[in-house]
Amino acid sequence: MPETTTRALDGAADVRDAGGRRVSGVSIRLDAVTKRFPGQDAAAVDAVSLEIPAGELVAFVGPSGCGKTTLLKMLNRLVEPTSGTIHLGDEDATTQDPDQLRRRIGYVIQAGGLFPHMSVATNIALVPRMLGWEKARVEQRVDELLDLVGLDPGAYRGRYPRELSGGQQQRVGVARALAADPPVLLMDEPFGAVDPITRQRLQDELLQIQAELGKTIVVVTHDIDEAVKLGDRIVVFDTGARVVQYDTPEAILADPAEQYVADFVGAGASLKALTLTRVDDVQLASVSTARVGEDAPAVVARARAAGDDDVVVLDGRDRPVAWPSLAELAQVAAVPSTVDERLPVVGERATLNDALDTMLAASQGGAVVTGRRERYQGVVVIETVMDAIQRTRTATSG
């Protein structure tokens, strides 16, 4: 990496926050940041001051036109602030060369913003190559990142964006943004262009990546559910990017600062437990597992002995691929490698709401839970979700 005057933004040491989480991000501090567009009376962003702690994921929510996207784009100076200062870590972002600055800030837009004429590998390699990394290091990094976002490097490196699904494009977009290991990641409505089930999976993956890397992440969204799920903290904006409330999701749901927030957050207080409780907060059921290619009768016998009616099939990297019943398995000699495209899967940081959605969409009474790098963790069943709802109903009514 070329020598720059930007120590604070270069890869940070292994720092951990109070909760023991690894932090590789830096804090973001905004002081009276204002943006006026020519020919408009009201400021699009009016003297916003905000501090985002290092390693946290903060969601910007608000109605469209409230200035949240403009504010986000001022962080990497795609929009130049009219006045005010922005500090990333210890350095003043407003006095730097914008191109140099942006190479050290990940940026993800809706649908990934991949360049259609470049292969997946070329897209991901763009920033490291601009930073002058050696070829071998860049190649290694590309494979590392594809692995991180759950795409097999061998299969996807050489593909072009149009050969990928929307969700895969979005994953590559995240990989590209993370390529040079930036301390800050900015995401502008990142999951707006994909179907609900894919969106939920991408959200789970983002949370897992965040748990693994500890970047400072700012996500702009208009979806309060997404904000509640993703954000360590949420900023609720009104017109002119006025900060109405800046707090944890729990606090915003429990104690809205103004009627505006209450309206925005919406009703259904008892069901909010579903959005606030994560899959890894509840008891996971353990089910017998089997490896692809294992002797099927042996697996059936083992599962019967354990009292299970079905088995979760894992691939070589511990990722769940199918969830057959023992009756199905009894008909084959070896555990098949077929990937069940409709397998209900949720990440461990998914909300119970997501888990319920996933089960309903797949018409199943449970969902497989995966952790880091999509590794199998257990199974969440519908009874557990019902219990959680029941508990909060009793709690709120009593």
Element (DSSP H or E) covering residue 51: strand 45-52
Q: Which of 8, 15, 130, 382 binds another protein (CB under 8 A)?
A: 130
What residues pair up with 238 in beta bridges, in sequence order?
A: 242
- Tell me if 121 contacts another protein by CB under 8 A: no
How far is Cα 359 from Cα 384, in angstroms, rounded to an integer? Answer: 12
User: Nearer Cβ to another protein, position 58 or 186?
Assistant: 186
With vertex at residue 219, the alpha carbon angle to CA 217 and CA 221, rounded to the nearest 5 degrees, is 170
User: Nearer Cβ to another protein, position 37 or 115?
Assistant: 115
User: Nearer Cβ to another protein, position 187 or 303?
Assistant: 187
Least CB distance from residue 115 to another protein, whole Å? 6
Binding mask 91-120 for another protein (x = CB under 8 A): --------xxxxxx--x-xxx-xxxxxxx-
How far is Cα 295 from Cα 242, in angstroms, rounded to an integer? Answer: 62
- Tell me if 323 contacts another protein by CB under 8 A: no
SS3 192: coil
Least CB distance from residue 79 to another protein, whole Å? 10
- Tell me if 200 contacts another protein by CB under 8 A: no
User: Nearer Cβ to another protein, position 141 or 278?
Assistant: 141
With CA atoms as reference, report the closest residue to 138 among 154, 126, 150. 126
- Tell me if 176 contacts another protein by CB under 8 A: yes
- Tell me if 37 contacts another protein by CB under 8 A: no
Element (DSSP H or E) covering residue 354: helix 352-362
User: Nearer Cβ to another protein, position 47 or 118?
Assistant: 118
Pairing of strands 233-238, 57-61: parallel
Instruction: Take residue 337 and report the two structure tokens written for it.
Output: 């490698």
Least CB distance from residue 187 to another protein, whole Å? 11
What does residue 392 show for φ and ψ, rounded to 5 degrees?
Answer: -70, -35
Q: What residues have CB less than 8 Å from 137, skipping those under 6 apart?
A: 128
Binding residues for another protein, rule: CB under 8 A, are 76, 78, 99-104, 107, 109-111, 113-119, 126-127, 130, 160-162, 176-177
